[in-house]
Amino acid sequence: MKCMYCGSLDSKVIDSRVSEDGSSIRRRRECLNCGRRFTTYETVERIPVFVIKKDGTRELFDSSKLRGGIMKACEKRPVSYESIENLVSEIEKTVYNLGMNEITSDKIGDEVMKGLKSLDEVAYVRFASVYKEFKDIDTFLSEIERILGKK
């Protein structure tokens, strides 16, 4: 591993630890040339997955965009950050476990709606209003009635 201070390629690992979620390994290293210490992280390289949007364009799957949409729906709701992160992780696992290079935005949206429905019904309706492009109050009411009918 190249030293970030002097550029030397000679370093030794002093300490290795697995992250809390088990997704990476943190390594403390010492440069054998200058003696300074630095930290590196080892993670699994993922195969890129492209999202096919409604208009047919493609873009790389980005969990931060997913997180942003979920957080927007949960704004000012009693939903913990941990719950949001868990939902993002579950959807991310679903996307990568499909083993495909492409996934539709509809499939991701359906997964978000399924997760939000169990977290917070108001957040679910907020997300659904944007995702399903509600045109008027009647669409809102029919979705709310559908939720209430299942209780």
57 & 75 share domain: yes
- For 49-59, how does the pLDDT look when each residue is reduced to its tens digit (9 = 90+)? 999 999 999 99
Residue 48 has pLDDT above 70, yes or no: yes
Render pLDDT for 68-98 as a digit per residue (tens, 0 to 9): 999 999 999 999 999 999 999 999 999 988 8
Asked if residue 5 belongs to a domain, the reply is no
Based on the domain organization, do 38 and 102 belong to the same domain? no
**pLDDT mean over 38-56:** 90
**1 lies in a domain?**
no
One domain for residues 75 and 36: no
Q: Are 110 and 63 in the same domain?
A: yes
Instruction: Give pLDDT, residue 83.
Output: 95
Count of structural domains, the chain: 2
Q: DSSP string of 44-77?
A: PPPPP-EEE-TTS-EEE--HHHHHHHHHHHTTTS
Mean pLDDT of 5-24: 91
